[in-house]
Amino acid sequence: MFENLTDKLQRAFKTLRGQGTLTEENIAKPCAKSAWPFLLSDVNLNVARDLIEQIRVKAVGTEVLTPAFAL
């Protein structure tokens, strides 16, 4: 269950790689896509929304880290 959730969340946020700094515009779509994996994992809708909103608020304005190596 957690592996499936992790995979789907990673796919939702994969588009952010290569961005310099996170903005409202470039984080909106991945945040919207990230609700579905939580809902499919039977997480309460309000809990999923609150978590995504907290992540969005903390993420906006931060610098995107690039991996040290590619897998």
Written as one string, the DSSP assignment of the chain is: -HHHHHHHHHHHHGGGTT-SB--HHHHHHHHHHTHHHHHHTT--HHHHHHHHHHHHHHHTTPBPPPPSS--
pTM recorded for the entire structure: 0.61
Q: Quick one: pLDDT at residue 12?
A: 66
Q: Quick one: pLDDT at residue 66?
A: 62
Q: What is the mean pLDDT of residues 8-18?
A: 69
Cα–Cα dist 26/70, whole Å: 23
- Beta-bridged to residue 63, according to DSSP, are 21
Identity of the residue numbered 55? I
